[in-house]
Amino acid sequence: GWYTENYTASVGPAVANGAFIGSAGQGKIASAPRADYADAAVVVLTTAGHEGKTYELAGDSAYTLAELAAEISRQTGKDIPYKDLPPADYTAALTAAGLPAPWPEALASFDVEAAKGALFDEGRALSTLIGRPTTSLKDSVAAALKQA
């Protein structure tokens, strides 16, 4: 699973700088907030029938970073485009923003893998475990904007 917060942590800077940057191309990301994963852990640890099982957990609705930027734009009323950068340029931008090593390189590599489909899943194991749909991108962006 991939945490939605890995991307929504950049909502504030995206609004401040007028763009959401990354290197994920049109890769689909099926993330969910940490709270959804925590709810699944509670179910697995407190109910029978999960012994020896492995779950591939992901959010219900995959999105691209362009779709994330569009949702930020919709909620803020500001034009926040997604700027897809070459990985070296994205790494340089993160370094210039003050992210310490090894984070710029790691984040760029995660986006490169997302572009290849590594963060896409449509199995719905997470929502099945928690008994409800996973938190929507709309709600995750709204929460991030409240914290920004």
Query: Domains plus CATH for the chain?
Result: 5-147 (3.90.25.10)
Query: Residue 110 pLDDT more than 90?
Result: yes
Supply 23's token pair.
Answer: 């290197």
The whole-angstrom separation of Cα 26 and Cα 24 is: 6
Query: Residue 45 pLDDT more than 90?
Result: yes
Provide the pLDDT confidence category of residue 121 given band limits of 50, 70 and 90: very high
Supply 13's token pair.
Answer: 């800077």
pLDDT of 40 reads 98
Provide the pLDDT confidence category of residue 70 given band limits of 50, 70 and 90: very high
Provide the pLDDT confidence category of residue 66 given band limits of 50, 70 and 90: very high
Under a CB-based contact definition with an 8 Å cutoff, are residues 131 and 41 in contact?
no
Query: Residue 78 pLDDT more than 90?
Result: yes
Enumerate the H helices of the chain as residue ranges. Answer: 5-8, 11-17, 34-46, 65-76, 87-96, 103-115, 125-130, 137-147
- SS3 for 101? coil
Provide the pLDDT confidence category of residue 129 given band limits of 50, 70 and 90: very high
Taking alpha carbons only, the member of 61, 4, 80 closest to residue 35 is 4
The whole-angstrom separation of Cα 35 and Cα 135 is: 9
Q: pLDDT tens digits for 83-101?
A: 999 999 999 999 999 999 9
- Interior/surface letters 63-97, b for 16+ CB within 10 angstroms, e for the rest: bbbbbbbbbbbebeeeebebbbbebeebbebbeee
Which whole number is the average pLDDT over 43-68? 97
pLDDT of 1 reads 85
Q: Which residue has the tokens 């909620």?
A: 75
- What does the mean pLDDT of the chain come to? 97
The one-letter amino acid at 34:
R
Q: Which residue has the tokens 């959804």?
A: 36
Provide the pLDDT confidence category of residue 148 given band limits of 50, 70 and 90: confident
